[in-house]
A and B are shown apart, each in its own frame.
Chain A
Amino acid sequence: MDAGQALADLTEISAQIEAAVLADHDGSVVASTLADDVAAKSFAEAAAELLAGADGVRTEPGSEPLVQVEGAALDGSVFVAKDDRHLVAAVTKPRPTVGLVFYDLKTCLRMLEREEEAKAGKAATKTATRRRTTKKKTEEAESEGS
């Protein structure tokens, strides 16, 4: 499953979510449910800014890191959740079920992380296999030469 599929699943399982974007922490768009790329970029950047701005509300040394934010306006809510690599942001109508929306966003991030780990694992296995094959060929060539 790629990032686009993870977002498609997110909007499918959560009826409350109108639109969502997956981005790097700096706001670079990875995937989006918005058809307009400019809107997706602007949404991702605003979500990253909200996250960065919220990060500064606790300044005591040793305070726990921020993990998610909900901004509730009169005409709707914006949710942003993050993990070590990505952030996922979504907008809903007013008065959403907050816990449920955050749960779905976290699930999306976890699915993506698992997929990336699986891909990295496959790549590492491929490289190891290639190395073993090369080593075997070298040994065969050496034994033929001697």
Chain B
Amino acid sequence: MKARSAVGLLAAGAALAGAIVFVRTKSAVEREHVDVYFADGSMLSLEAGSADGDRLLPLARRALAAARG
């Protein structure tokens, strides 16, 4: 009986952890951002909500819209 509840708890914990990882990964991937790459190989990631991100994202959206007509 004890072993059964331990397995059940373990399964519930694993499912919860999986769900958290899934939601976090999905939200990270779908977040709008602008990545700026420099000659030395460094990169700056500017997310929506940051000053530079909010300045550059409309330009990116405009380029997308222009290319798609």
A: which residues have CB within 8 A of B?
18-19, 21, 34, 36, 39, 42-43, 45-47, 49-50, 53-54, 57-58, 63-78, 80, 89, 91, 94-95, 98, 102
- CB neighbours (8 Å) of A53 from chain B are 55-56, 59
Give the distance in Å from the alpha carbon of A88 to the alpha carbon of B44 in the complex: 20
- CB neighbours (8 Å) of B56 from chain A are 50, 53-54, 57, 69, 71
| B32 contacts A46, C-beta separation under 8 Å | no
1/0 per position for B50-69, CB-CB distance to A under 8 A? 00100111011111101111
- CB neighbours (8 Å) of B40 from chain A are 64
Give the distance in Å from the alpha carbon of A67 to the alpha carbon of B42 in the complex: 10
A121 to chain B, nearest CB (A): 26
- CB neighbours (8 Å) of A95 from chain B are 29
- Please pick, from B35, B38, B66, B68, the residue contacting A72 in the complex, using a CB distance under 8 A: B35
22 contacts between A and B (CB under 8 A): A18-B68, A21-B67, A36-B69, A39-B69, A43-B66, A46-B59, A46-B63, A54-B34, A54-B36, A57-B44, A57-B56, A64-B38, A65-B39, A66-B39, A67-B37, A71-B63, A72-B60, A73-B32, A73-B60, A73-B64, A74-B32, A78-B64
Residue of A whose beta carbon sits closest to that of B34: A71
Chain B residue total in the interface (Cβ 8 A): 28
- CB neighbours (8 Å) of B42 from chain A are 64
| A91 contacts B64, C-beta separation under 8 Å | yes
- CB neighbours (8 Å) of B44 from chain A are 57-58
| A66 contacts B38, C-beta separation under 8 Å | yes
- CB neighbours (8 Å) of B29 from chain A are 95
